[in-house]
């Protein structure tokens, strides 16, 4: 039996700061407590970034994903950056996510729930608190919310003003995303316009053009039948949600607000939050914090997690067994998923917990290339996805979604894909601040393969 203390939400005495009584790993050591308090006070006084009602709508959609009536796509940068922040970058990321979701929906026949790793995905857990280069030891880069990427002592010093800047950049990002997705950019009649030039020249881009052509013909057919597509709101607007890893609990706490309608607490920094592989300790601060907020939450699960721990997480984070509340993102590696995932599914089924099973095929397939770059092979990513779908099918659970790291730009960070990025290409456009991302045509390639898996 597990002897870890239950989150305080079980006893009804959870508060936004009750996580402070539990061990919190992966937190920065802020050198100036007064400056930190100032920044957090400023954020506490700011408006929420999302609203409780939106988080509830997402929860309803995730309930459908758990039952095979929808499919979740979480996608975006490993780490957003202050420097690479631009309207073009946001637009291009949105384009590729919209393209992927069209491919997925067309293939699967069910709606795609679009969630951007955006508007708050800044903070990174690190395998070591320090980084050593040529005998010089400095604090690790923890994401733009904490310190600067440059390998210099002053740059690596945690600076709490960065939390405030992250809040404002998140607000600006979300504002643009809302404008794009509600203001006509995501209109289904613009399905061709999302194919960027450099993508259109690739086999995936051409495959997408063919599909977009079929959609256009279908729309014209509906119009010819007298259906007024202009009157259909669904044609012109899409729901687009944002999510990030709830890593820096001081920041998350500062944006946690009580919903005036339900009286429940919501973390209003994003629609959905997730707990990373390194911070999912049952008795830890991250589980305690997310247990008390009512947003949909996710947990990353590596190959080493045990069935008891997973059931413990379900119990802690979703004691009332609310469908759509909890997404389990497995990230086990192409070679491990077949053996590591089935016992977890059996345990969760036996405990009768409704969860959305989703696959992050990125994080356990990362390796250091001989050239020094951290990379991933497209083939390994696809092998993990195939393994995940096979395990779900054998266990009779619905594959509920995928979680990928991508960018709309033409980077060369992951190897392979049908318009291949080869070993010697890595150095050409390796731009990520953290993990290697799929570029736009690799992302489309993945969407076509996942659509085929969903069709089976």
| Footprint of ligand PEP (CB under 6 A) | 78, 125, 245, 276-278, 300, 331, 360, 363, 435
Of 78-86, 87-95, 218-226, 422-430: span binding Co ion (CB under 5 A): 78-86
At 76 the three-state DSSP class reads strand
At 153 the three-state DSSP class reads helix
Q: To the nearest whole angstrom, how small is the minimum distance from the Cβ of residue 382 to Co ion?
A: 18
- Give the CA diameter of the chain: 72
Binding-site member from 62, 78, 115, 348 for Co ion (CB under 5 A): 78
Nearer to ligand PEP among residue 105 and residue 170 (C-beta): 170
CA distance 447 to 98: 11
Spatial contact of 405 and 362, defined as CB atoms under 8 Å apart: yes
Q: Which residue is nearest to ligand PEP (CB)?
A: 276
Q: To the nearest whole angstrom, how small is the minimum distance from the Cβ of residue 300 to ligand PEP?
A: 4
Nearer to Co ion among residue 196 and residue 443 (C-beta): 443
Angle subtended by helix axes 87-108 and 161-182, to nearest 10: 50
Q: Does 435 bind Co ion (CB under 5 A)?
A: yes
Radius of gyration of the chain, Cα coordinates, nearest whole angstrom: 21
Partner interacting with residue 377 (select from ligand PEP, Co ion, none; CB below 5-8 Å by kind): none
Q: To the nearest whole angstrom, how small is the minimum distance from the Cβ of residue 143 to ligand PEP?
A: 10
Number of amino acids touching Co ion (CB under 5 A): 2
In Å, how far are 272, 411, 423 from 213, measured between CA atoms?
A: 34, 27, 34
Partner interacting with residue 300 (select from ligand PEP, Co ion, none; CB below 5-8 Å by kind): ligand PEP
Q: To the nearest whole angstrom, how small is the minimum distance from the Cβ of residue 243 to ligand PEP?
A: 10
Beta-bridge partners for 416: 421
Spatial contact of 28 and 147, defined as CB atoms under 8 Å apart: yes
Within 8 A by CB and 6+ apart from 201, the residues are: none
Partner interacting with residue 276 (select from Co ion, ligand PEP, none; CB below 5-8 Å by kind): ligand PEP
CA distance 308 to 306: 5
CA distance 293 to 61: 18
Nearer to ligand PEP among residue 207 and residue 336 (C-beta): 336
Q: To the nearest whole angstrom, how small is the minimum distance from the Cβ of residue 120 to ligand PEP?
A: 13
Partner interacting with residue 271 (select from ligand PEP, Co ion, none; CB below 5-8 Å by kind): none
Q: To the nearest whole angstrom, how small is the minimum distance from the Cβ of residue 78 to ligand PEP?
A: 5
CA distance 13 to 22: 14
- The Cβ of residue 261 has, within 10 Å, a number of other Cβ atoms equal to 10
Of 225-233, 384-392, 432-440, 448-456: span binding Co ion (CB under 5 A): 432-440
User: Using CB under 5 A as the criterion, which residues of the chain lie in contact with Co ion when the complex forms?
Assistant: 78, 435
């Amino acid at each position: 039996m597990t002897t870890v203390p239950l989150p305080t939400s079980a006893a009804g005495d959870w508060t936004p700061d009750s996580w402070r009584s539990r061990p919190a790993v992966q937190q920065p050591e802020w050198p100036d407590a007064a400056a930190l308090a100032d920044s957090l006070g400023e954020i506490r006084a700011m408006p929420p970034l999302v609203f409780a009602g939106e988080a509830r709508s997402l929860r309803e959609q995730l309930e459908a994903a758990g039952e095979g009536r929808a499919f979740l796509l979480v996608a975006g940068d490993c780490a957003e950056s202050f420097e690479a922040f631009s309207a073009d970058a946001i637009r291009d990321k949105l384009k590729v996510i919209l393209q992927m979701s069209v491919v997925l929906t067309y293939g699967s026949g069910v709606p795609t729930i679009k969630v951007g790793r955006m508007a708050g995905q800044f903070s990174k857990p690190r395998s070591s608190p320090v980084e050593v280069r040529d005998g010089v030891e400095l604090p690790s880069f923890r994401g733009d919310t904490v310190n600067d990427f440059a390998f210099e002592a002053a740059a690596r010093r945690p600076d709490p003003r960065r939390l405030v800047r992250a809040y404002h950049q998140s607000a600006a990002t979300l504002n643009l995303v809302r404008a794009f997705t509600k203001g006509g950019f995501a209109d289904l009649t613009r399905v061709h316009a999302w194919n960027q030039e450099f993508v259109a020249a690739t086999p995936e881009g051409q495959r997408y053009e063919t599909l977009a052509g079929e959609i256009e013909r279908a729309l014209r057919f509906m119009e010819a039948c007298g259906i007024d597509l202009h009157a259909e709101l669904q044609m012109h607007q899409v729901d687009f949600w944002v999510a990030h890893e709830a890593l820096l609990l001081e920041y998350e706490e500062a944006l946690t607000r009580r919903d005036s309608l339900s009286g429940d607490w919501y973390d209003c920094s994003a629609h959905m939050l997730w707990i990373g592989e390194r911070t999912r300790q049952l008795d830890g601060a991250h589980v305690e914090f997310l247990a008390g907020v009512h947003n949909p939450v996710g947990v990353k699960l590596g190959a080493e997690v045990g069935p008891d721990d997973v059931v413990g997480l379900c119990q802690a984070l979703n004691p009332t067994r609310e469908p759509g509340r909890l997404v389990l993102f497995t990230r086990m590696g192409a070679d491990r998923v077949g053996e590591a995932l089935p016992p977890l599914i059996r345990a969760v089924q036996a405990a009768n917990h409704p969860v959305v099973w989703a696959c992050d095929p990125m994080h356990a397939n990362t390796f250091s290339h001989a050239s020094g770059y951290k990379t991933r092979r497209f083939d390994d990513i696809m092998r993990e996805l195939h393994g995940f779908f096979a395990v779900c099918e054998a266990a009779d659970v619905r594959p509920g979604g995928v979680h990928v790291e991508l960018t709309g730009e033409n980077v060369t960070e992951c190897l392979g894909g049908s318009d291949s990025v080869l070993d010697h290409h890595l150095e050409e456009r390796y731009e990520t601040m953290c993990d290697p991302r799929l570029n736009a045509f690799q992302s489309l390639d993945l969407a076509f393969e996942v659509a085929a898996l969903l069709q089976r």
